Amino acid sequence: MIRFLRIAGKRLLGAVPSLIGVIIVTFLLSHALPGDPAVLFAGPAADAASVAQVRAHLGLDHSLPQQFLTYVWQLAHGDLGQSLTTGQPVMTDLLQRLPASLELTLVALIFAIGVAVPLGIWAATRPNSWIDHLCRGTVTVAAAFPTFFIALLLVYVFYFLIPLAPEPVGRLNDVYFDAPTTITGFYLIDSILEGNWQTFGGALAQIILPAISLGLFALAPIARITRAAMLQSLASDHVRTARACGLSRRRILITYALRNAMLPVVNVLGMVFSFVLGSNVLIEDVYGWPGVGAYAVKAVISSDYAAVQGFILMMAVLYILLNLVVDLLSMVVDPRVKFEG
């Protein structure tokens, strides 16, 4: 346990340089590029007075290192600037919308992993059979669909043509359902905690299509890496021994082969997270999802730069945290990682 904590601490420290890098890049993106950052932050409709005000607030008349210190100082106080479109602090805006995006992202990940890992295992148990080819073909085709296109296609087919799904109006259709009281901010969890199954059903029905759109692309990398890792694992000596000892098929597959194959799968999740977090931007608008992605798109279109910058920073921090969680998880899944760390 102490060993676990020590390595966990080391991993946590390992994330610090990434965090510093992320802060420097977001700073450079706005402050060190050609063009006047004051004009950028003040927005397209600003007059000379508000540009001057922004310039003073960001300390833009000082040197670049000094500006950076001002930026870090403001960050440390949770100040991401004011949004021009909502008139609120960007931090407030983002925190208010974050649970919606996080819930969608997590459900999409559960969908992707829940479908792709069994698919990969299935393909690996019958390599080069028609099942294997079918699995590979399906995930390859799925990976070719742009997230935003699949989102529109699903809405068109499952709402407009065959009305199976509810109207894509966000997290909950508030004509029929009341939003659950905020405990975690996740509608699915909050409604269970309240015991309100009707709302749970409503929220679940709303999240299915966007989660599938978001998770579909991730099927291919996860399924293919699972297949490859399982093939290797199934060919190993310990699996042969287990077979020779007459253990059940299920036991061999799950306990012996899968646990040994999990490490490459966990490693590919980093790329999957990167993709899923980024794609929120593309599909939230389609489903009227009130998350940070839709907020960022609006900000980009109306040149609300403080909001864009805040969003980028928040997503990068989230991504680093998610990777950290996976890192720690992989230590639980595979004790060998502890000794390498």
Partner 1 sequence: MSDTSLISRTRYALSENPMTLLAAILFALLIFCAVFGPLMAPYSPLLTNEGARMHPPSWLHLFGTDALGRDIFSRVLIATRLDLGMAISAVVISFVIGTALGAMAGYWGGWVDAIFGRVMDTIMAFPLFVLAMGIVAALGNNVTNIIIATAVINLPFYGRFARAEVNVRRDLAYVEAARMGGNGAVRILWGHIVRNILPVMLVQASLNMGWAILNAAGLSFIGLGVRPPTPEWGIMVSEGASYIFSGEWWTFVFPGGALVIAVFCFNLLGDGLRDIVDPRRRT
Contact positions toward partner 1, by CB under 8 A? 17-19, 21-22, 24-26, 29-30, 33, 35, 40, 137, 140-141, 143-149, 152-153, 155-156, 160, 224-225, 227-228, 273-275, 277-279, 281-282, 285-286, 296-297, 300-301, 303, 305, 308-309, 311-312, 315-316, 319-320
Helices (H), the chain: 2-31, 37-42, 48-58, 64-76, 90-125, 130-144, 147-155, 187-194, 197-234, 237-244, 249-251, 259-283, 292-301, 305-333, 336-340
Q: How far is the CB of 285 from partner 1 (least distance, A)?
A: 8
CB 158 within 8 A of CB 165: yes
Q: How far is the CB of 6 from partner 1 (least distance, A)?
A: 23
> Between residues 180 and 215, which has the closer beta carbon with respect to partner 1?
215
> Between residues 70 and 302, which has the closer beta carbon with respect to partner 1?
302
Q: For residues 98 and 91, what is the distance between their CA atoms, to the nearest angstrom? A: 10
Q: How far is the CB of 191 from partner 1 (least distance, A)?
A: 28
Q: How far is the CB of 254 from partner 1 (least distance, A)?
A: 21
> Between residues 51 and 296, which has the closer beta carbon with respect to partner 1?
296
Q: How far is the CB of 64 from partner 1 (least distance, A)?
A: 16
Q: For residues 341 and 11, what is the distance between their CA atoms, to the nearest angstrom? A: 8
Q: Residue 245 class from Cβ within 10 Å (0-12 exposed, 13-18 middle, 19+ buried)?
A: exposed
Q: How far is the CB of 339 from partner 1 (least distance, A)?
A: 23
- For 305, the 3-state DSSP assignment is helix
Q: For residues 320 and 284, what is the distance between their CA atoms, to the nearest angstrom? A: 22
Q: How far is the CB of 81 from partner 1 (least distance, A)?
A: 14
> Between residues 5 and 160, which has the closer beta carbon with respect to partner 1?
160
> Between residues 95 and 300, which has the closer beta carbon with respect to partner 1?
300
| CA 292 vs CA 101, 111, 296, 303: distances in Å | 6, 21, 6, 16
Scored b (16 or more CB within 10 A) or e, 133-172 reads eebbeebeebeeeebeebbbebbeebeeeeeebbebebbb
